Amino acid sequence: MDPISHPNTPFQDAVRTMLGTVDPDPTREGLRDTPRRVEKAFQFYTHGHSLDPRKVIGDALFESETDEMVLVKDIELYSMCEHHLAPFFGKAHVAYLPRGKIVGLSKIARVLDVFARRLQVQERLTQQVAHALQEVLQPHGVGVIVEASHLCMMMRGVQKQNSYTVTSCLLGTFRSDERTRAEFLALARPSR
């Protein structure tokens, strides 16, 4: 590889140092370009830090008279645990009760990605998605449930292969009205 066309960055130097501590031959062919690939991968894994959920939703807000629950279920998510830099992945179930406005359904998944594509903990991710939708849509309420498996628990530490974590955030009517909460929880019942 030509060093002029691919200059080293501080990130790549750090990866190179790390490889030197974990591999007996960090200069072997398979690892030569790893620092650049890891930097590029981490830029993708964490690009959510540069995204604004309002801009992601953009003009995909529409006037609507419906006030019935809108639920998007089983939205895939991939994120990186900020404690171990290990992936966690799973599904989110996101619902809201419209108050004069609905949002394009794909935008709900995009808002999830804004927060999942960051160094993250699942608990905060769940709350950030709910609060962002509440702020932008101003609905009667928002409910978010995230189910995820964490490689930091599966590959290391306790090594529990079949465990997964469920977090929720309920805002507005989802929190204050027992019937709304029960309907959401029944519809979003984990599918595992």
CA distances from 26 to 4, 19, 81, 86, 185 (A): 21, 6, 25, 21, 50
Is 169 annotated in the active site? no
- Pick the catalytic residue: 81, 134, 140, 169? 81
- Pick the catalytic residue: 12, 147, 150, 183? 150
- Pick the catalytic residue: 122, 128, 140, 169? 122
Is 122 annotated in the active site? yes
Distance CA 153, CA 130 (A): 26
Distance CA 167, CA 169 (A): 7
Distance CA 122, CA 69 (A): 24
Is 150 annotated in the active site? yes
- Pick the catalytic residue: 84, 127, 131, 138? 84
Is 84 annotated in the active site? yes
Distance CA 151, CA 84 (A): 9
Condensed to tens digits (0 to 9), the pLDDT of residues 149-192 reads: 999 988 888 888 888 999 999 999 999 999 999 999 999 986 65
Distance CA 64, CA 126 (A): 26
pLDDT at 64 (0 to 100): 92
pLDDT at 7 (0 to 100): 75
pLDDT at 112 (0 to 100): 98
Query: Which domains, and CATH codes, for the chain?
Result: 10-45 (no CATH), 53-187 (3.30.1130.10)
The average pLDDT across 127-152 equals 97
Condensed to tens digits (0 to 9), the pLDDT of residues 7-63 reads: 789 999 999 999 999 999 999 999 999 999 999 999 999 999 999 999 999 999 999
pLDDT at 1 (0 to 100): 46
Distance CA 134, CA 112 (A): 13
pTM attached to this predicted model: 0.91
- Pick the catalytic residue: 47, 76, 83, 135? 83
CA distances from 53 to 14, 119, 128, 181 (A): 31, 17, 10, 25
Is 39 annotated in the active site? no
Condensed to tens digits (0 to 9), the pLDDT of residues 85-125 reads: 999 999 999 999 999 999 999 999 999 999 999 999 999 99
pLDDT at 191 (0 to 100): 60
- Pick the catalytic residue: 76, 82, 123, 135? 82
Residue type, 138: Q
Name the pLDDT band for 129 (thresholds 50, 70, 90): very high
Q: What angle do CA 107, 136, 117 make, to 5 degrees?
A: 50
User: Which tokens sit at 172?
Assistant: 């507005």
Residue 5, phi then psi, degrees to nearest 5: -80, -20
Residue type, 107: K
pLDDT at 162 (0 to 100): 85
